[in-house]
Structure 1
Amino acid sequence: MSSQVSGLSDLLKSNLDRGVSSNEDELLQRRDIFGANTYPRKKRKSIWRFVFEACQDLTLVILMVAAATSLSLGIVTAGVKDGWYDGGSIFFAVFLVIFVTATSDYRQSLQFQHLNEEKQNIQVEVIRGGKRVGASIFDLVVGDVV
């Protein structure tokens, strides 16, 4: 078993006692050759997706129908100049609620994503250049002795 581990360490140009070199250029070269110790992240939702989701609220849909009805009846009965006030006010209130809801949900999503990234950033000790060094799991390279 020990010969397999030492053989693997030789292939990776790593030393079991000293680890890999702490030279930044060599660490970058290892990251370029073997890839970074990360995974692809999910694409986050845009603000427009949150706007669309806010528009799906049943109460707001009912209010939009009521606003359209009020707007059309107001224009028919009082004319365009004075008849749009009630329906226009309801539309304005609905769009304001949609904007506030979407903005709030979007900000919460960003905060959750930031907290999740902090939670996943685990610190470990590696041996580089013969010294114990603290490193993030995202900064590990192939050949590190953890």
Structure 2
Amino acid sequence: MKFAGSALVAGVAMFVSGCATVPMTSKELSAQAKRFDAPPAGQSGMYIYRDSNIGGAIKKDIWIDGECLGESAPQVFFYKSVDGDKEHVISTESEFSPNQISIFTKSGTNYFVRQYIKIGVFVGGADLEVVPTEQGASAVQELSLAQSGNCSK
């Protein structure tokens, strides 16, 4: 009985603390992305970020249209230019199956998607939400740009 209680406490502690890390880009590239320039002609900008320390030891993959964007950790963001005037599917791994959202992007517009960790049965799960531009841009200003293309699966 003591072991089960100790395991539960250790699991909760790992969920709310810890420090997962992922490969990062240079400070210069991060600063450039935070200017929120208009995307190239015919493109939309996609900022996907994780601004919470909840589940700090947990890394979660993120995909756009089935392609690996990267593995998230607390306090990081990704930027990707995608085709404009088209629907895109953003997905993240969760506890039992991926969670996903669809966004129809307008050319010349930046979009912000927040990934957040939620309590799961065995491990933390992840979910996504589209956020208003002002909220997303404000959050991204406090984060660091992670390298794309590194997923666990």
* TM more than 0.5: no
Q: Give the greater-gyration-radius structure (CA).
A: 1
TM-score by length of 1: 0.22
Name the structure with the higher strand share: 2
TM-score by length of 2: 0.22
The structure whose RCO (Cα within 8 Å, separation 6+) is larger is 1
Name the structure with the higher helix share: 1
